């Protein structure tokens, strides 16, 4: 696709802006910001990737992945501001996921040991881990607030902090994993997964694209479960103090 | 008289707001003490300090010669049982709720014991399999009391456990608590809005207002309080008129 084609593709930006203007939706400014940001960000990423792929240096791969993890952490931590030390908890979780998935992929030679594979897959894992972290934290904070009386009851009867939040923790872990599992049940029936579509458009054989997509889906299952479970078990102790009291009682 | 719980200049505050101020005194061993006072006086907070759900900001609470901070929280909460004001229930059956204190220790509650507990608080055995969501406010309070007894606490803290009960049930619960006190020598601290109840069941009474203890002594003090604020409070409380 050439530059001329890309310029024509801006028609698809004009349509929502015109609609927003005629219907007074007031979304013109946000749409423009979104368009400009995506153009700048993706081009920067594109050139950086080209540079990293050409350089063939492990250091750049490390740097790229580190930047991804930092960005994902900073984004997700806003949802967990109520939990002490949430930043490093999310970071540790994402690093763990990255190390685990890449060790298996590279260790068993499932994917080639090149930046071209490592970086996009890492991006998908870290990005998905971030979404899962946000889903989990939203739910967990809501659950613990809604069931504070039950947590206090269990503490008052001589239960431990872990027992006091066990149900809330399990509910939140489960709830945050469900979208990942459910979306995989209908995958391909309505909409082709974005990555698979991309590969097919770029000329890969559909069967090869499917194989690769399956690998990614399985990886996402691991990411989803590890993010929720690990973040959950790192987070719940901060809701209590050393005397096994609800920490809100400052 | 031996103190079961001894307070020494205890203060408690939340975000810099004083909730309890300079609390000193004792709940006597093997006795029933009632705790009365207007809403927001700090009664619940005081009991939560005794059960270790909260810790004093300064001052000391001593239970049986040991500072409360030196207890293992789990052990303290089993020894000093508390029935919470809102009588919270976990999801599931009444049986599950009754078994909760034992379940937390990895033990089971035998059916016979569960039925006896329900009997004690005046509920029929049919309730065992009902889900806790179906219970009325008063039935929840009854289950809550029964559940608190499962740990066989040596000190029992009761926070408004009869506020949703009818007269007959109230009497039943009063008799049950007095029986537990007499039979097992359990020390009892009982928060109530009902001054008649405070006078009837308690040997001793503490009157709290705005985070302070304004009067303590034998429960008869409620009939002729020395403090002017307490006199007003006693006069204003519903049900008091019918006592005279
Ligand atoms: N978690 C909390 N955050 C802020 N303030 C609180 C908290 N818990 C209690 N308080 C305040 O502490 C004071 C004492 O509360 P407490 O629940 O001990 O009163 P109480 O005597 O039990 O009242 P009631 O008869 O209505 O149950 C109240 O002014 C209350 O607003
Ligand atoms: Mg209260």
A114: tokens are 């090149």
Distance B42 CA to ligand 1 centre (A): 6
Distance B185 CA to ligand 2 centre (A): 25
Closest listed ligand to the CA of B23: 1
The pTM is what?
0.88
- List all residues whose CB is within 6 A of at least one atom of ligand 1: B 14, 19, 37, 39-45, 85
d(C-alpha A249, C-alpha B70), whole Å: 20
- 10-residue block means of pLDDT along chain A (250 residues)? 87 94 93 93 92 91 95 92 93 98 96 93 95 95 95 98 96 95 85 84 90 92 96 96 80
- The whole-number pLDDT of residue B244 equals 42
- Chain B residues in contact with A153 by the CB 8 A cut-off are 84, 88, 90, 100
A27 alpha-carbon distance from chain centroid:
26
Give the mean model confidence (pLDDT) for residues B238-243.
44
Residue B238 scores a pLDDT above 80: no
B interface with A, Cβ–Cβ < 8 A, is 14-15, 51-55, 69, 73-75, 77-78, 81-82, 84, 86, 88, 90-91, 100-101, 104-105, 147-148, 151
Contact pairs from chain A to chain B, CB under 8 Å: 66
Q: Are B217 and B26 in contact (CB under 8 A)?
A: no
Residue with tokens 């945050």: A176
Distance B138 CA to ligand 1 centre (A): 22
- The whole-number pLDDT of residue A150 equals 97
Domain ranges of chain B: 3-235
Mean pLDDT of chain B: 93
Closest to B77 (Cβ–Cβ): which among A149, A158, A250?
A: A158
High-pLDDT (> 70) share of chain B, %: 97
CA atoms within a 13 Å half-sphere pointing along the CA-CB vector of A183: 13
Give A81→chain B minimum CA distance, Å: 19
Instruction: Please say whether the structural domain B3-235 has been given the CATH code 3.40.50.300.
Output: yes
Q: From B151, which residue of chain A is nearest by alpha-carbon distance?
A: A157
CA distances from A152 to A205, B12, B72, B138 (A): 58, 19, 17, 20
- The whole-number pLDDT of residue A26 equals 92
> ipTM exceeding 0.90?
yes
Containing A218, the helix (H) or strand (E) segment is helix A206-235
pLDDT digits (tens, 9 = 90+) for B148-184: 999 999 999 999 999 999 999 999 999 999 999 998 8
- In three-state secondary structure terms, A97 is helix
Band of pLDDT at residue B1, cut at 50, 70 and 90: confident
- Chain A residues in contact with B69 by the CB 8 A cut-off are 243
Domain ranges of chain A: 1-55, 57-239
Residue B239 scores a pLDDT above 50: no
């Amino acid at each position: 696709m050439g530059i001329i084609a890309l310029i024509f593709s801006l028609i698809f930006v004009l349509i929502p802006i015109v609609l927003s203007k005629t219907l007074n939706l007031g979304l013109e400014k946000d749409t423009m910001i979104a368009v400009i940001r995506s153009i700048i960000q993706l081009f920067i990423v594109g050139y950086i990737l080209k540079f990293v792929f050409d350089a063939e240096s492990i250091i750049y791969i490390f740097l790229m992945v580190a930047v991804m993890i930092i960005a994902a952490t900073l984004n997700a931590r806003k949802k967990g501001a109520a939990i002490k030390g949430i930043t490093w908890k999310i970071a540790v979780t994402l690093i763990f996921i990255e190390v685990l998935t890449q060790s298996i992929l590279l260790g068993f030679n499932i994917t080639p040991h090149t930046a071209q594979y490592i970086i996009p897959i890492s991006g998908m894992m870290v990005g998905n881990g971030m979404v899962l972290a946000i889903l989990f934290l939203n739910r967990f904070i809501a659950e613990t607030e809604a069931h504070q009386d039950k947590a206090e009851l269990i503490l008052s009867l001589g239960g431990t902090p872990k027992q006091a939040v066990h149900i809330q923790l399990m509910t939140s872990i489960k709830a945050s994993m469900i979208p990942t599992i459910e979306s995989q049940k209908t995958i391909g029936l309505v909409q082709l997964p974005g990555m698979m579509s991309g590969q097919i458009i770029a000329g890969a054989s559909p069967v090869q694209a499917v194989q690769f997509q399956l690998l990614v889906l399985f990886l996402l299952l691991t990411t989803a479960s590890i993010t929720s479970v690990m973040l959950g078990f790192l987070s719940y102790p901060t809701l209590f103090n050393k005397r096994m009291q609800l920490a809100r009682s400052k | 008289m031996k103190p079961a719980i001894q307070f020494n200049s205890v203060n408690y505050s939340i975000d810099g707001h004083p909730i309890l101020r300079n609390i000193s005194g004792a709940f006597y061993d093997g006795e029933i003490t009632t705790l009365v006072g207007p809403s927001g006086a700090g009664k619940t907070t005081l009991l939560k300090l005794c059960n270790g759900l909260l810790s004093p900001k300064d001052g000391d609470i001593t239970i049986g010669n040991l500072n409360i901070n030196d207890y293992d929280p789990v052990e303290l909460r089993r020894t000093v049982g508390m029935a919470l004001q809102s009588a919270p229930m976990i999801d599931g059956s009444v049986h599950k709720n009754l078994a909760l204190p034992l379940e937390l220790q990895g033990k089971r509650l035998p059916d016979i014991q569960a039925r006896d507990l329900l009997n004690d608080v005046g509920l029929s055995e049919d309730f065992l399999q009902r889900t806790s969501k179906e219970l009325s406010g008063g039935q929840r309070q009854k289950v809550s009391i029964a559940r608190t007894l499962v740990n066989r606490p040596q000190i029992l803290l009761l926070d408004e456990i009869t506020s949703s009960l009818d007269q007959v049930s109230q009497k039943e619960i009063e008799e049950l608590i007095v029986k537990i006190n007499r039979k097992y020598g359990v020390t009892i601290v009982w928060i109530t809005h009902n001054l008649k109840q405070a006078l009837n069941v308690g040997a001793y009474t503490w009157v709290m207002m705005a985070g302070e203890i304004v009067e303590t002594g034998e429960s008869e003090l409620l009939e002729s309080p020395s403090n002017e604020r307490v006199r007003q409070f006693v006069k204003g409380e519903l049900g008091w008129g019918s006592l005279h």
